[in-house]
Amino acid sequence: MKITQIRNATIIVEYLNTKILIDPWLGPKGYMAGFEAAINPQIRQPRVDLPFKIKDIVNVDAVILTHFHPDHFDSYAAEALNKNIPFFVQNETDLKIIKSFGFNNVKLISDKGIKFNNFELYKTNCQHGKKEIIKPLCDKIGMPYDAMGVVFKATNEKTLYLAGDTIWCKEVETAIKKFKPDIIILNACAATVANGERIIMNIEDIKEVLKNSPKSTIIASHLDTVSHLTVTRNDLKEFKQNNNIENLIIPDDGESIEY
């Protein structure tokens, strides 16, 4: 297995010789305004450039979109990707949206699992911020609330759990107990909306994952890119160093981790 951090939640997972691109947000630095419903709307995003050329990033065998938000998929990705590529999404709403971009091979991932090549993909549930607070806000601004995590599982490979855009919650705890993942990828910049609520993990949430899955390797992603972040790579590196946490990895953009 090889995991390459591209930028934000955009990563490439190479699993049993299959390359899967996750959440392709491929626009240039600063092309998009900050989110009006979040903190720091005056900061343009992405805050950083891509580490590789787009043509190299999209040279993959499949795509997974954890949810259709502007910092997880954009027109640059839609233009660059092969329209016949296997493209996995969480629900019928996202399926229709991705098909509207001209993609012809869009598939749903289910919590019961879907076979792809020599492995299985399982949908896991998320809370993209506290549901009772964030979902009404999403409804008000016309942005979907739901997001998913994904588990990669095979007989002859480590189990990978991509938690997706979520805070620590019962759904994440359940996924860890059910799948017992060897590797967990967490979106961890503590992105925060205007009312002060977080919509993805912070350091306290990472502590909960470490406590509930102490033998897993934790990889921190979704860092240093969106306008509404409140936790940086340097914050996480300081946390790791101060607490002597060996199983927390904080890759830079463009960095790969191999198992």
* pLDDT of amino acid 151: 98
Model confidence, pTM = 0.97
**Residue 172 confidence (pLDDT):** 98
Each residue's pLDDT tens digit, 154-200: 999 999 999 999 999 999 999 999 999 999 999 999 999 999 999 99
pLDDT < 50 positions in the chain = none
CATH of 2-258, one of 3.60.15.10, 3.30.479.30, 3.40.50.150, 3.40.30.10: 3.60.15.10
Write the pLDDT tens digit of every residue in 119-142.
999 999 999 999 999 999 999 888
State residue 95's pLDDT score.
98
| DSSP labels, 138-204 | HHHHT-----EEEEEEETTEEEEEE--S--S-HHHHHHHHHH--SEEEEE-S--BBTTS-BSS--HH
* Residue 18 backbone zone (phi > 0: left; psi -120 to 50: alpha; other: beta): beta
Q: Could you give the strand order of the β-sheet that contains 2-7, starting from the edge strand earlier in sequence?
A: 106-108, 87-89, 62-64, 18-22, 10-15, 2-7, 256-258
